Structure 1
Amino acid sequence: MGVSVVIPAKNESGSIPALIKGLQALDALDEIIIVDDGSTDGTGDIASELGAKVVRHPYSKGNGAAIKSGARSAAGDTIVFMDADGQHSPEDVARLLERLGQGYDMVVGARQAGSQASVGRGLANSLYNRLASYMTGQKVEDLTSGFRVVKREMFLQFLSLLPNGFSYPTTSTMAFFRAGYSVAYEPIHTAQREGKSHIKPIRDGVRFLLIIFKIGTLYSPLKLFVPLAFAFFFLGAGYYGYTFITENRFTNMSALLLTTSLMIFLVGLVSEQITSLLYISSDKDSDKGEK
């Protein structure tokens, strides 16, 4: 019944020492795992010298891949995930663990006002939270926070669903909601990151669209696609009514809009079935692991 801290790190030699020392001062932790994701600045060696367990990737595989490697290596029944860039404070770990002990399966550190990296990132995260809240029917305070505490057994059920890139927080949160697990949020304040950010504007923009799509497809695709299909249907029907009254004919645009509504609905229906199969597969893998 131990607690493992998993920290993915790529070229974070400047911030790793203070983070590890801060975590070592806490009594509640049993092991600190640094996943060195192909660093070239000696991040792994520094962590090892300070007494942390180091899992090394021979080359950079991505933040999500590092999370998966760390989760597999963790010995504790509870895992604390943190970023290595100095934004997350070790002092907040105890509060997240205490909240988990109140009957939750995952507790997420919800960044408060002024803790976002930029205005653009803050607006994007606000949109993510609103969409995720609509999809799940629960208030999602911070969908993309990488600071979270989870029960290892439950987290491992969804390991195959996690991407190797940066959107593992989104995937894991939506997966926990879909499975009916209990998720809570604990307010935190993040510091300014140390070192150079690995975020790039163009790539970040593409990821923004992918996360929006992932939010819908990971929980209930029909809840996202049906309103969109109805919007196109009513637009097509309305345009047909207008052209029928004014020109007494059925136009190609009306046909296109109505056909599009049908296609969107069918895509949502197929996505719903695929999503269900993904979670059925995760449940079967979990049952095999328990046996």
Structure 2
Amino acid sequence: MRNYVIIIPALNPTESLIDYVKALLAKGAKHVIVVNDGSHEECDNIFQEISLIERCTVVTHHENKGKGRALKTAFAYFLEHFQGMDGVITADADGQHSVEDVFKVANAITPGYREIVLGVRDFRKTYVPGRSQLGNRITSFLFYLLFHYKLEDTQTGLRGIPVSQLPWLLELKGERYEYEINMLIHARLRDIHFRKVPIQTLYFNRNESSHYHPLFDSFKIFSKLVRGYFHDASHWRKK
């Protein structure tokens, strides 16, 4: 793996996260940053064990602040402590992103390019939970309608981001899941290229471990798409 740091936001993870981190490092990851986003005390032993792993750092929010804030906390930590590295790979803590796919995304990044690499899942699979299929279909349709770009997986958490793109990502609004769609909106407005990499579509126990709330988070994402078009797009046109 080239000079990329893997970032994993985590809320109430299972012990499988320990093995996942070890597997990433064993395959050649340079460093892993895990953000404990206000998890229950019962998870303290998991984060403690991860913090003892060589080339792994745990950053802690003492209360839950949301996935968007966890990502921005990790981006800021990376920029402060990892000068000379080429960028970051964001991955989820629930096992949906295989070790192989994390490295597939990492190897697709072209250092110095204005691009974000997206690990894209196939939602046509019959075993994909209905709430995931419906939410992604709606957001994908809206994204195409408003921003004229076909993006099959708007909710992917597996992304490769060159270091050059992190400063403006730190300034983006959004503290929870809407932050990720905001990232796509502003990348599109900035004419930043999306490189799409097919990845496995993995779900366990019908995705019951996910902290994504179908109604609440979907509404925030849909609202952000519409506001992003009417407010953010008009702002960029005036520049």
Coarse TM-score class (shorter-chain normalised): 0.7 to 0.9
Q: 1:111 to 1:46 in 2, by over 3 A?
A: same
Structure 1 partner of 2:194? 183
- Give the structure-1-normalised TM-score: 0.70
CA distance in structure 2 between the aligned counterparts of 1:152 and 1:187, rounded to whole angstroms:
23
CA distance in structure 1 between the aligned counterparts of 2:117 and 2:136, rounded to whole angstroms:
18
> Matched residue of 2:95: which SS?
coil
Structure 2 partner of 1:80? 89
Instruction: Determine if contact 2:4/2:106 at 8 Å carries over to the other structure.
Output: no
Alpha-carbon offset, residue 174 of structure 1: 1.1
2:68 counterpart of 1:58: no
> Matched residue of 1:161: which SS?
coil
CA distance in structure 2 between the aligned counterparts of 1:98 and 1:214, rounded to whole angstroms:
31
Tell me which of 93, 101, 120 is aligned to 2:110: 101
- Whose helix proportion is higher, 1 or 2? 1
Cα deviation, 1:147-205, whole Å, max 9, x if unaligned, reads 110112213213222411122221111111111111121111132347733234xxx31
2:215 counterpart of 1:198: no
Structure 1 partner of 2:47? 44
CA distance in structure 2 between the aligned counterparts of 1:15 and 1:162, rounded to whole angstroms:
31
Structure 2 unmatched runs, 5+: none
Tell me which of 133, 137, 140 is aligned to 1:126: 137
Structure 1 partner of 2:31? 31
Instruction: Determine if contact 2:114/2:165 at 8 Å carries over to the other structure.
Output: no
Letter of the 2:158 partner, please give it: F
CA distance in structure 2 between the aligned counterparts of 1:91 and 1:167, rounded to whole angstroms:
27
> Matched residue of 2:171: which SS?
helix
Q: 1:114 to 1:15 in 2, by over 3 A?
A: farther
Select between 116-125 and 81-90 the one with higher mean Cα deviation.
116-125
CA distance in structure 2 between the aligned counterparts of 1:115 and 1:156, rounded to whole angstroms:
39
Q: 1:134 to 1:121 in 2, by over 3 A?
A: same
Alpha-carbon offset, residue 50 of structure 1: 2.5
Select between 161-170 and 65-74 the one with higher mean Cα deviation.
161-170
CA distance in structure 1 between the aligned counterparts of 2:4 and 2:52, rounded to whole angstroms:
21
1:1-291 matched pairs, under 5 angstroms: 2-27=3-28, 29-39=29-39, 40=41, 41-42=43-44, 43-51=46-54, 52-74=56-78, 75=82, 76-101=85-110, 103=113, 105-112=115-122, 113-114=124-125, 118-193=129-204, 196-200=209-213, 204-218=214-228, 220-221=229-230, 271=231, 275-276=235-236
Cα deviation, 1:217-262, whole Å, max 9, x if unaligned, reads 22x31xxxxxxxxxxxxxxxxxxxxxxxxxxxxxxxxxxxxxxxxx
Cα RMSD after superposing both structures: 2.5
Q: 1:108 to 1:273 in 2, by over 3 A?
A: closer
Letter of the 1:111 partner, please give it: R
Structure 1 unmatched runs, 5+: 222-270, 281-291
Letter of the 1:49 partner, please give it: L
User: Percent identity over the alignment?
Assistant: 24
Cα deviation, 1:19-69, whole Å, max 9, x if unaligned, reads 112201222x32100011122212321211233111111111111111011
CA distance in structure 2 between the aligned counterparts of 1:275 and 1:22, rounded to whole angstroms:
44
Q: 1:116 to 1:44 in 2, by over 3 A?
A: farther
Q: 1:87 to 1:122 in 2, by over 3 A?
A: same
Alpha-carbon offset, residue 92 of structure 1: 1.0
CA distance in structure 2 between the aligned counterparts of 1:89 and 1:132, rounded to whole angstroms:
26
Q: 1:206 to 1:56 in 2, by over 3 A?
A: closer
Question: More relative contact order in 1 or in 2 (CA 8 Å, sep 6+)?
Answer: 2
Alpha-carbon offset, residue 116 of structure 1: 7.3
Alpha-carbon offset, residue 115 of structure 1: 8.3
- Structure with max Cα Rg: 1
